[in-house]
C-alpha cells in the first residue's frame, strides 16, 4: 500500500471546480474532497491538508495521540486520524522539503534561462547535460 500519495490515475487526481479542472494538490479544499474516496478504493493512503492549522497551539494538543478510530470510518475520517498520529505528522512534514533552490541556482549561477533546442527529446537531452554539469560542479566544490 502506498502512503503519502494523492493519486488515483498515473499519480494524478483531478477535481472539477468553478475555475475548471485542477490538480489534487491545490490548496482549495472542500468538505468531502472528491479524490479521497477513489484513493481509498485504490488502497492508497492520501496525506492531504484538511485546512490551515493554528499557530502556537499548546504542546499537549500538538503531541497528543488522537482517539482511536471507529470500526468503519469514512475515508475522510481515516485520513484525518492518520494525519493526527505521530507517524502521520512526520510523513506530512516531509512535504515541507523543497528542491526549488537548485533550479534557482541553475538559472542564476549557470545562466540557464531557456532551452536552445526544439522538441521534447532534444530538450530532455539538453536538460540532462545541464544537470550533469551542475552535479560535476557540486562534486568539484564538495571535493567528492
Report the range of poorest mean pLDDT among 7-21, 45-59, 78-92, 107-121.
Answer: 7-21
Find, among 9, 54, 6, 48, the residue nearest to 29 by Cα: 48
Q: Are residues 123 and 82 both part of a single domain?
A: no
The larger pLDDT score, comparing residue 25 to residue 65, is at 65
Mean pLDDT of 28-55: 74
**Are residues 41 and 89 both part of a single domain?**
yes
Q: CB count, 10 Å around CB of 40?
A: 18
Same domain flag for 114 and 81 = no
Examine the domain organization and report whether 24 and 82 are in the same domain.
yes
| Domain span at 116 | 100-142
**How far is 60 from 73, CA to CA, in rounded Å?**
25
Query: What is the number of domains present in the chain?
Result: 2
- Taking the C-alpha atoms of residue 126 and residue 108, their distance in angstroms, rounded to an integer, is 17
Those residues whose C-beta lies under 8 Å from the C-beta of residue 51, and which sit 6 or more positions away, are 29
Same domain, 92 and 106: no
- Name the CA dihedral angle for 76, 82, 85, 91, rounded to a multiple of 10 degrees: -130
Q: Tell me the pLDDT tens digit for each residue of 44-97.
A: 888 887 777 778 878 887 788 888 888 888 888 888 898 888 888 888 888 777
Say if residue 83 is in the same domain as residue 120. no
User: What are 33's three cell numbers?
Assistant: 474532497
User: What pLDDT sits at residue 16?
Assistant: 37
- Taking alpha carbons only, the member of 8, 2, 3 closest to residue 90 is 3
The answer on 28 and 88 residing in a single domain is yes
pLDDT at position 84 is 87
Same domain for 58 and 73, yes or no, is yes
Same domain for 59 and 85, yes or no, is: yes
Amino acid at each position: 500500500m502506498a502512503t503519502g500519495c494523492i493519486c488515483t490515475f498515473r499519480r494524478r487526481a483531478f477535481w472539477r471546480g468553478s475555475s475548471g479542472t485542477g490538480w489534487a494538490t491545490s490548496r482549495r479544499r472542500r468538505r468531502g474532497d472528491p479524490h479521497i474516496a477513489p484513493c481509498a478504493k485504490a488502497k492508497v493512503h492520501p496525506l492531504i491538508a484538511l485546512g490551515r492549522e493554528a499557530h502556537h497551539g499548546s504542546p499537549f494538543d500538538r503531541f497528543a495521540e488522537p482517539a482511536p478510530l471507529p470500526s468503519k470510518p469514512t475515508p475522510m475520517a481515516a485520513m484525518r486520524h492518520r494525519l493526527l498520529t505521530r507517524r502521520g505528522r512526520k510523513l506530512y512534514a516531509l512535504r515541507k522539503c523543497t528542491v526549488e533552490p537548485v533550479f534557482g541556482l541553475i538559472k542564476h549561477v549557470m545562466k540557464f534561462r531557456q532551452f536552445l533546442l526544439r522538441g521534447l527529446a532534444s530538450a530532455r537531452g539538453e536538460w540532462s547535460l545541464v544537470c550533469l554539469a551542475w552535479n560535476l560542479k557540486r562534486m568539484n566544490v564538495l571535493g567528492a
